[in-house]
A and B are shown apart, each in its own frame.
Chain A
Amino acid sequence: MTDNGADGGTDGGTAFAGRAMGSALRLTIGSLAPAATTAPAAMTAPAIPAEVVDSAVAVAWDGVVESFEVSEQAMSRFRDTSELTALNHAAGTGRVSRPSSRLRQALVAADRAHRVTGGRFDPRVLADLDRLGYRGAALTTGTARLDPGLATDPADPSGGGIVDRVGRDGISIARPIDLGGIGKGLALRWATAELEHEGVSDFLLEAGGDLVARGLDPGGGPWLVGIEDPTETIEHLAVIAVSDEAVTTSSIRVHRWSVDGRAVHHLLDPQTGEPAEGGLLSVTVAGPDPAWAEVWSKVLFVGGRAAIAGEARARGLAAWWVADDGSLEMTADARRRTVWVAAEDDPEGTAG
Chain B
Amino acid sequence: MIDRRLPIHVAVLVGASTAAYAVSMAGVTALQSNTDQALIAARSPSQAAAERFGQAHDRLQAQIELSASAYAGSAASYDQLTAGLATLDTSLEAYAGRMKSVTGAARALPARASMPSVARSSGRVSSKPRVRAVTAASGKP
Chain A residues at the B interface, C-beta cutoff of 8 Å:
11, 13, 22-24, 26, 28, 180-181, 184, 204, 206, 208-211, 217, 223-228, 230, 236, 239, 241, 247-255, 282, 284, 338-340, 342, 345-352
| Majority secondary structure, B binding face | loop
CA distance A336 to B132 in the complex (A): 19
- Given known pairs A339-B125, A345-B127, the reply for A211 and B140 (CB within 8 Å) is no
Evaluate contact between A210 and B135: CB separation under 8 angstroms. yes
In the complex with contacts A253-B136, A349-B117, A239-B127 CB distance below 8 A: no
* A-side contacts of B135, CB under 8 Å: 209-211, 225-228, 247-249, 284
Contacts of B138 in A (CB 8 A): 23, 180-181, 184, 208-210, 249-251, 254-255
Question: Distance in Å from the Cβ of B138 to the closest Cβ of chain A?
Answer: 5
Say how far B137's CB is from chain A's closest CB, in angstroms: 4
- Asked if A206 and B133 make an inter-chain contact with CB atoms under 8 angstroms apart, the answer reads yes
Smallest CB gap from A208: residue in B: B138
A28–B131 alpha-carbon span in the complex (Å) = 12
Q: How many residues in B have their beta carbons less than 8 Å from beta carbons of A?
A: 23
- 14 A-B pairs besides A236-B131, A239-B129 with CB distance below 8 A are A13-B132, A208-B138, A209-B135, A209-B140, A228-B136, A253-B136, A253-B137, A253-B140, A339-B124, A340-B125, A340-B129, A347-B127, A349-B127, A351-B119
Q: Is the CB of B123 within 8 A of A211?
A: no
> A340-B124, A347-B126, A349-B126 are contacts. A224–B131 as well, Cβ < 8 Å?
yes
Contact status A224-B141, CB under 8 Å? no
Inter-chain CA distance A210–B139, complex, in Å, is 10
Q: Is the CB of B137 within 8 A of A255?
A: yes
| Nearest 6 Cβ contacts at the A-B interface | A251-B137, A228-B136, A209-B136, A349-B119, A226-B131, A349-B126
Give chain B nearest CB distance to A230 CB in angstroms: 7
B139's partner among A11, A13, A206, A255 (CB-CB below 8 A) is A255
